[in-house]
Amino acid sequence: VTLHGPPLTLNLKKPMSTMRGLKNFIADVRATIAPEDELKIVNEEKAKIRQCFASPKADSYDRRKYCLKLMYMHILGHNIDFGLLQASQLMTSKVRDEKIVGYIVLGELLHDNKDFLRLVTQTIMYDLQQVNEFATPLALTFVANVANAEMAEVVAPACMQLVAAQKTQVNSYIRKKAALALLHCYRVNPASVDTENINSMLITLMEAKNVGFLSCLTHLLYGISDVNSKVFEVIKTRAIYLLSKIILKKEVSVDHQYHGCPCPWLIISLMRFLRRLAPRLEEAQDKDHGLINQRTMLESVINEIFKMCSGISSSAPIDKQQIFWALAYETGVLSNYYAEYFEETIKVDFMIKTVTAKDTKPNVRFAALSTLAEMSRMVNVNIAIRANIRSIVEIVSYEMDFSLRGKGQVLLFNSADVETAEGIVLCLLGGAKATRFPKDYREDSLLRAAILCERYGLYSTIEVDGVDTVKESLWTLRAMINLLPTASELHLRFIWANLANAIMLKIVGADEYPDLKAQVLFQIISACFNQEQIQQGNLLVVDDPLILTTACYIITESVFESFGKGFEGIFYGIENTRLFAEYGPLFSAEAIFQIVSQAIIMLSNGSFKEEQPVAVSAMIALCYMSVCPMENLQMLIESPVADVQQRAAEAMAIMQIPDRELVATLLQQTPLLKNIRGLEAMIKKGGDDKPYRDEDIPDSDDTGTNPSTYVEDPDSTQPVQSIQPVQPATMQPAQYVQQAPQQTMPPQTLASMIPGGMPAAVPAPVTMPTAAPVPAPVPIVQTMPAPQATMAPGLNDLLSL
The average pLDDT across 640-648 equals 80
Cβ-contact 421, 452 below 8 angstroms: yes
User: By CB neighbour count within 10 A (0-12 exposed, 13-18 middle, 19+ buried), where does 115 fall?
Assistant: exposed
Distance CA 727, CA 629 (A): 7
C-alpha distances out from residue 193 to 117, 137, 280, 442, 749, Å: 20, 20, 27, 45, 57
Alpha-carbon distance of 39 to 32, in angstroms, equals 10
* Residue 173: predicted pLDDT: 92
Average pLDDT score over residue span 679-694? 47
Query: What pLDDT is stored for residue 516 in this prediction?
Result: 79
Q: How many Cα atoms are found within 13 Å in the side-chain-facing hemisphere of 739? A: 11
- Please report, rounded to a whole number, the percentage of residues in the chain having pLDDT higher than 90: 29
**Mean per-residue pLDDT for 446-459?**
81
Q: What is the mean pLDDT of the chain?
A: 77
Q: Is the pLDDT of residue 339 over 50?
A: yes
- Summarize the confidence of residues 660-689 as an average pLDDT: 60
* Contact by Cβ (8 Å): 636, 723: yes
Confidence bin at 473 (pLDDT 50/70/90): low
**Higher confidence at residue 193 or residue 801?**
193
Q: Do 708 and 602 meet the contact criterion of CB atoms below 8 Å apart?
A: yes
pLDDT in tens, 498-516: 778 777 777 776 667 788 7
SS3 541: strand
Per-residue pLDDT, 296 = 92
- Start-to-end CA distance of the chain, whole Å, equals 93
- As a whole number, mean pLDDT of residues 52-62 equals 87
* For residues 423-446, average pLDDT: 89
Q: What integer pLDDT is reported at residue 28 of this predicted model?
A: 92
The average pLDDT across 346-369 equals 91
Give residue 683's pLDDT: 66
Question: Predicted confidence band at 770 (pLDDT cuts at 50, 70, 90)?
Answer: very low
Residue 674 has pLDDT above 60, yes or no: no
- pLDDT at res. 354: 92
| Alpha carbon distance 228, 637 (integer Å) | 59
d(C-alpha 733, C-alpha 607), whole Å: 29
CA distance 305 to 563: 65
Q: Return the higher-pLDDT residue of 373 and 714.
A: 373
- Please report, as a single letter, which amino acid is at residue 48: K
Q: Which amino acid is at 79?
A: N
- State the pLDDT at residue 679: 63
Per-residue confidence (pLDDT) for residue 355, from 0 to 100: 92
Does position 329 have pLDDT exceeding 60, yes or no?
yes
Q: What is the pLDDT of residue 629?
A: 80
With 80 as the cut, is the pLDDT of residue 200 above it?
A: no
pLDDT category of residue 747 using cuts at 50, 70 and 90: very low
**Can you give the pLDDT at residue 733?**
33
User: pLDDT grade, residue 566 (50/70/90)?
Assistant: low
Identify the bridge partners of residue 265 per DSSP, sorted by sequence position.
none
For the cut 70, the answer to whether the pLDDT of residue 762 exceeds it is no
| Better pLDDT: 174 or 255 | 174
Query: Mean per-residue pLDDT for 564-581?
Result: 72
Share of the chain above pLDDT 70, in %: 76
Cα angle at 721 between 718 and 723, to 5 degrees? 135
Task: Give the C-alpha separation, 753 to 733, whole Å.
Answer: 41
pLDDT value at residue 241: 92
Q: What angle do CA 28, 29, 35 make, to 5 degrees?
A: 130
In this prediction, residue 568 has a pLDDT band, given cuts at 50, 70 and 90, of low
Mean pLDDT of 225-254: 88
pLDDT (average), residues 441-460: 82
pLDDT of residue 299: 93
Give the CA-trace dihedral at 31, 36, 37, 41, to 10 degrees: 110
**What pTM, to 2 d.p., does this model score?**
0.72
pLDDT the model gives residue 682? 54
- Cα 670–Cα 676–Cα 677 angle in degrees, nearest 5: 155
Q: What is the mean pLDDT of residues 461-472?
A: 57
Give dist(CA 126, CA 413) in Å, integer.
57
Average pLDDT on 77-102 reads 91
Q: Does pLDDT of 792 surpass 60?
A: no
Residue 219 has pLDDT above 70, yes or no: yes
Angstrom distance (rounded) from CA 767 to CA 775: 23
Between 43 and 555, residue with greater pLDDT? 43
Q: What is the predicted pLDDT for the residue at 685?
A: 59
At residue 788, does pLDDT exceed 60?
no
Spell out a b/e string for 714-739, using b for 16 or more CB atoms within 10 Å of the CB, else e.
eeeeeebeebebebeeebbbbbbbbe
| Residues pairing with 285 in the sheet | 291
Would you say residue 105 has pLDDT above 80?
Answer: yes
As a whole number, mean pLDDT of residues 190-208 equals 83
The winner for highest mean pLDDT among 285-294, 435-444, 450-459, 605-614 is 435-444
125 burial via Cβ count (<10 Å: 0-12, 13-18, 19+): middle
β-pair type (283-286, 459-464): unpaired
Residue 338's nearest CA partner among 295, 400, 381, 396 is 295
Question: Cα separations (Å) of 106 from 24, 60, 80, 127, 536?
Answer: 23, 17, 12, 15, 81
Range scoring the smallest mean pLDDT among 179-193, 449-463, 639-653 = 449-463
Predicted pLDDT of residue 611: 81
Q: Does residue 797 carry a pLDDT above 70?
A: no
Torsion sign (Cα): 568, 572, 578, 582: negative
Q: What is the mean pLDDT of residues 276-286?
A: 85
Q: Compute the distance between CA of residue 796 and CA of residue 549 in angstroms, rounded to an integer.
A: 31
Q: Given the DSSP bridges, would you call strands 257-258 and 261-262 parallel, antiparallel or unpaired?
A: antiparallel
pLDDT in tens, 403-414: 899 899 999 999
| Range 571-592 average pLDDT | 81
pLDDT tens by residue, 522-563: 888 888 888 777 666 678 888 888 888 888 888 888 877 766
Residue 676, pLDDT score: 55
pLDDT tier for residue 778 given thresholds of 50, 70 and 90 = very low
pLDDT the model gives residue 546: 86
For residue 505, what pLDDT is reported? 74
**Distances from the Cα of 346 to the Cα of 265, 336, 382, 580, 790, angstroms:** 23, 10, 11, 53, 52
**Over residues 317-344, mean pLDDT:** 92
Arithmetic mean of pLDDT, 615-640: 81
* Least-confidence region, from 11-25, 281-295, 653-667: 11-25
Which pLDDT tens digit goes with each residue over 80-90? 889 899 999 99
Q: Is the pLDDT of residue 572 over 80?
A: no
Mean pLDDT within 137-163: 93
Tell me, what's the pLDDT at 571? Answer: 78
Give mean pLDDT, residues 578-593. 82
The H or E element spanning position 640 is: none
pLDDT at 9 over 50: no
